[in-house]
A = this chain, B = another copy of it.
Amino acid sequence: MSGLAKLSGVDISTVSRALNDSPLVNDKTKAQILQLAHETGYAINARARNLRKQSSQTLGIVIPVYPGSHQTLSDPFFLEMIGAVSQAAAKHDYDLIINLPNSPSEISERRLLVSGKADGLIVIGQAGRTERLNSLGDAANRVVVWGGMIDAADYTLVGSDNFEGGRLAGQHLGDIGRRRILFLGDIDLPEVKLRYEGLVSALQGQGAEPLLVPCSFDGHEAYRKILELCDGKTAFDAIFAASDVLGIAAIHAVQASGRRVPEDVAIVGYDNIGQADMISPGLTTIDQNIALGGEIMVKALIDKIAGKPVKATLTPTRLVIRGSTAGTALPR
């Protein structure tokens, strides 16, 4: 910048204003400076600017994946979420930094905010982190969390309507005549619990009741558990899985045991990840509209940073019917 100042013969303060398109600067001067900047390939030093302006035009996304957690970063849901948030952030002229906590106890969230590396934080999933997130205190007004709506949260929540999603799945399975329905998932997680409750509520209307099969978000675990159940004497004609990864594993397990999907066992997943329609049969699922979710979170976070009040938001939640319940596989 001082280089540009010398070249154009004005003070660096004028250069600064010109580059920021300040109305204080004469149009001719401004044009000349911009021209010079362009020619010399000058780019404002973000480090200095960030320090002075006390902001960094950067958002952070925290993915709760650590050695020992059952979910891995390669879970397509996380990856799609990263993609969605990243595109939304870019659209709003923010950079996005990814943070993967090394351990469940590390307080990297606070550190990211306090150190000023990020102006705000998007946290994916609140499982077992409610307290920790609440303890962010002051910093909490620069945090948006993706997760199920719970009352105990001080932070802003964005997420799909998990209860409604569960209800839709239950109703659909009822509609196609299924009565013995397994729920595959870990209801200790708030999001999953809501999906389960939605399912229960839908089935009540039909006089049925689901059977709970506890399972983490690990596809291999789901495969094993469903295979065991198939080989056992529990009778069931449908599975509602807490995620598409689990649902896809369930399809495989059911097929491996010699039964047909959907004729013998209908299967519904949750998330509508890109792979849900790349398998045979396609996986019927609950769409969370991840792309929209990312956009909503980014916008909400930017509003919060600007001090505007922001309230929790639900993304549209809808049922996507494919071969795993419908009998016909749709091509992509």
CA distance A249 to B279 in the complex (A): 10
* Nearest-Cβ distance from residue A249 to partner chain B, whole angstroms: 6
A115 engages B46 (CB within 8 Å): yes
Task: Judge if A111 is at the interface, Cβ distance under 8 Å.
Answer: yes
Among A80-88, A120-128, A310-318, the one that faces the other chain is A80-88
Q: How far is the CB of A138 from chain B (nearest CB, A)?
A: 10
Residues of B within 8 A of A248 (CB): 278
Cα–Cα distance between A56 and B95 once the two chains are bound (Å): 14
A92 CB, min distance to chain B CBs, angstroms: 12
Apart from A47-B51, A223-B331, 9 more pairs, CB < 8 Å: A47-B47, A58-B97, A73-B83, A74-B80, A76-B274, A82-B98, A95-B98, A95-B99, A98-B98
Between A47, A248, A249, A280, the greatest number of chain B beta carbons within 10 A of the residue's beta carbon is seen for A47
Which one of A23-31, A37-45, A159-167, A230-238 is at the B interface? A37-45
Q: Are A43 and B114 in contact (CB under 8 A)?
A: yes
Taking a contact as CB atoms closer than 8 A, the residue among B74, B102, B332 that contacts A274 in the complex is B74
- Bound-state CA distance A257–B141 (Å) is 55
Q: Which residues of B contact A102 (CB under 8 A)?
A: 90
B residues near A74, Cβ cutoff 8 Å:
79-80, 83, 274
| Contact call B76/A275, Cβ cutoff below 8 A | yes
Which interface class (under 10, 10 to 19, 20 to 34, 35 or more) fits A? 35 or more
Q: What's the Cα separation between A6 and B115 when bound, in Å?
A: 20
> Does chain B have a CB within 8 A of A117?
yes
* Number of copies of chain A assembled together: 2
Nearest-neighbor residue (CB-CB) of A53 within chain B:
B47
- Bound-state Cα–Cα, A88 to B200, Å: 42
Task: Name A's B-contacting residues (CB within 8 A).
Answer: 41-48, 50-51, 54, 56, 58, 73-74, 76, 78-80, 82-83, 86-87, 90, 95-100, 102, 110-111, 114-117, 219-220, 223, 248-249, 252-253, 255-256, 274-275, 278-280, 331-332
3 pairs of A and B residues whose beta carbons are closest in the complex: A79-B79, A73-B83, A43-B114
9 A-B residue pairs with CB within 8 Å: A44-B115, A45-B51, A73-B86, A74-B80, A76-B275, A90-B99, A252-B278, A256-B331, A279-B279
In the complex, what's the smallest C-beta–C-beta distance from A288 to chain B, in angstroms?
14
C-alpha gap A127/B83 in the complex (Å): 21
Set B46, B117, B223, B280: member contacting A95, Cβ < 8 A? B117
Q: Are A86 and B114 in contact (CB under 8 A)?
A: no
Name which residue of chain B comes closest to A85, CB basis.
Answer: B98
Chain B neighbourhood of A278, CB < 8 A: 219, 248-249, 252, 275, 279
